[in-house]
């Protein structure tokens, strides 16, 4: 069973704030994602300040903003190579965005594609990244779980995959496969460029057109996997309980994650 360590390194949200969100994230995963995507159920644990995340857990880390890259949890994988989702609380607040919707977005996408390695091919032969919240990412599509706003997400049917449900997204706003709603976006593999291109829905917020936050899933998708590096992050018993990582230059080269994406079906 996947276990998610929830780590609060942000100075702008309290553990109490996050404790209100976590049950909704767990309920969304264990009810809605299990029903639509048949993922394994997960447990979420909000760690006390300064606690070391247990091994073999994925991390959901709340940070202030990406300016903390040299100090906090700016890395692509946890110490033992598990996946990590990052939520930039101060950046979100600065732009009037919902913390819980952003956390839900990252968690849903991590649940479906923890290693950011999965894509699906459309009938024309084009590949689409398995980022299930991007096409429906706008405030008007969110929904409430126990009074906490969470993100809409697309079902396998959006990717033209077999699916028990006739719905293309959880909330029923989408009407056909590969439709990108107003305000949403998607990553499509551009064969000519050999790179990902962002396809934008009508009226996409200028925020989403900006360069993605360093370390975000969008950023990692756009970086070649050979440019990821395996974090040496440790949660030191430092006075400020920060997560400290060495600079990339000091990171052991042998720990680099440079395995090319497997050319298996569904993973170009
Ligand atoms: Zn996304």
Q: What is the 104 CA–ligand 1 centroid distance (Å)?
A: 10
Average pLDDT for 151-165: 94
Q: What is residue 31's predicted lDDT score, i.e. its pLDDT?
A: 98
Pairing of strands 43-46, 58-63: unpaired
- Percent of all residues in the chain with a pLDDT value above 70, rounded to a whole number: 75
Cβ < 5 A residues, ion ligand 1 = 109, 131, 133-134
Per-residue pLDDT tens over the stretch 124-151: 999 999 999 999 998 899 999 999 999 9
Average pLDDT for 35-46: 97
Average pLDDT for 65-91: 71
Burial of 189 (0-12, 13-18, 19+ CB in 10 A): middle
Q: What is the 110 CA–ligand 1 centroid distance (Å)?
A: 9
Q: What is the 180 CA–ligand 1 centroid distance (Å)?
A: 13
Range ranked top by mean pLDDT from 80-84, 145-149, 183-187? 145-149
Q: What is the 43 CA–ligand 1 centroid distance (Å)?
A: 21
Q: What is residue 192's predicted lDDT score, i.e. its pLDDT?
A: 86
Q: What is the 238 CA–ligand 1 centroid distance (Å)?
A: 32
- Residue 259 gets which letter from DSSP? P
Q: What is the 258 CA–ligand 1 centroid distance (Å)?
A: 23
Separation between Cα atoms, residue 187 and residue 210, nearest integer Å: 14
Token digits for 207? 């925020």
Q: Provide the pLDDT confidence category of residue 238 given band limits of 50, 70 and 90.
A: very low
Average pLDDT for 240-246: 39
Q: What is the 109 CA–ligand 1 centroid distance (Å)?
A: 6
Q: What is the 153 CA–ligand 1 centroid distance (Å)?
A: 10
Output the pTM of the full model: 0.81
Q: What is the 188 CA–ligand 1 centroid distance (Å)?
A: 13
Token digits for 157? 């049917």
- Is the pLDDT at 89 greater than 60? The verdict is yes
Q: What is residue 62's predicted lDDT score, i.e. its pLDDT?
A: 92
Range ranked top by mean pLDDT from 78-82, 131-135, 204-208, 262-266? 131-135
- Percent of all residues in the chain with a pLDDT value above 90, rounded to a whole number: 50
Q: What is the 132 CA–ligand 1 centroid distance (Å)?
A: 7
Q: Provide the pLDDT confidence category of residue 210 given band limits of 50, 70 and 90.
A: low
- Residue 115 gets which letter from DSSP? T
Separation between Cα atoms, residue 162 and residue 16, nearest integer Å: 40
What's the whole-number average pLDDT of the chain? Answer: 80
Q: What is the 106 CA–ligand 1 centroid distance (Å)?
A: 6
Q: What is residue 188's predicted lDDT score, i.e. its pLDDT?
A: 93
Q: What is the 107 CA–ligand 1 centroid distance (Å)?
A: 9
Q: What is the 239 CA–ligand 1 centroid distance (Å)?
A: 34
Q: What is the 218 CA–ligand 1 centroid distance (Å)?
A: 6
Q: What is residue 171's predicted lDDT score, i.e. its pLDDT?
A: 97
Q: What is the 164 CA–ligand 1 centroid distance (Å)?
A: 24
Q: What is the 215 CA–ligand 1 centroid distance (Å)?
A: 12
Token digits for 169? 């997204």
Q: What is the 131 CA–ligand 1 centroid distance (Å)?
A: 5
Q: What is the 186 CA–ligand 1 centroid distance (Å)?
A: 8
Q: What is residue 258's predicted lDDT score, i.e. its pLDDT?
A: 31
Residues in the chain: 268
Q: What is the 240 CA–ligand 1 centroid distance (Å)?
A: 30
Q: What is residue 265's predicted lDDT score, i.e. its pLDDT?
A: 39
Q: What is residue 145's predicted lDDT score, i.e. its pLDDT?
A: 98
Q: Provide the pLDDT confidence category of residue 76 given band limits of 50, 70 and 90.
A: low
Average pLDDT for 234-257: 36
Task: Give Cα 42 distance to the centre of its chain.
Answer: 16
């Amino acid at each position: 069973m996947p276990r998610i360590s929830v780590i609060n390194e942000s100075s702008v949200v309290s553990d109490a704030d996050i404790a209100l969100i976590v049950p909704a994230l767990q309920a969304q995963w264990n009810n809605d994602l299990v029903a639509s995507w048949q993922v394994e159920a997960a447990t979420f644990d909000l760690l006390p300040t300064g606690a070391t995340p247990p091994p073999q857990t994925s991390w959901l880390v709340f940070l202030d903003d990406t300016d903390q890259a040299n100090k906090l949890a700016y890395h692509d994988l946890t110490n033992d190579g598990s996946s990590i989702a990052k939520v930039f609380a101060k950046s979100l607040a600065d732009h009037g965005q919902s913390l819980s919707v952003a956390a839900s977005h990252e968690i849903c996408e991590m649940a479906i594609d923890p290693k950011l390695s999965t894509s699906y091919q459309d009938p024309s032969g084009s590949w689409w990244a398995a980022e299930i919240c991007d096409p429906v990412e706008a405030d008007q599509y969110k929904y409430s779980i126990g009074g906490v706003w969470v993100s809409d997400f697309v079902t396998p049917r959006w990717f033209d995959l077999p699916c028990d449900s006739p719905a293309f997204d959880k909330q029923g706003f989408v009407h056909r496969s590969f439709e990108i709603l107003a305000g949403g976006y998607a990553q499509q593999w551009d064969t000519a460029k050999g790179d990902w291109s962002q396809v934008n829905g009508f009226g996409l917020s200028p925020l989403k057109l900006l360069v993605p936050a360093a370390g975000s899933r969008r950023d990692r998708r756009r970086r070649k996997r050979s440019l990821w590096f395996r974090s040496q992050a440790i949660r030191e018993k430092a006075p400020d309980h920060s997560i400290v990582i060495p600079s990339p230059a000091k990171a052991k080269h042998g720990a680099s994650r440079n395995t090319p994406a497997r050319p298996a079906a569904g993973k170009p």
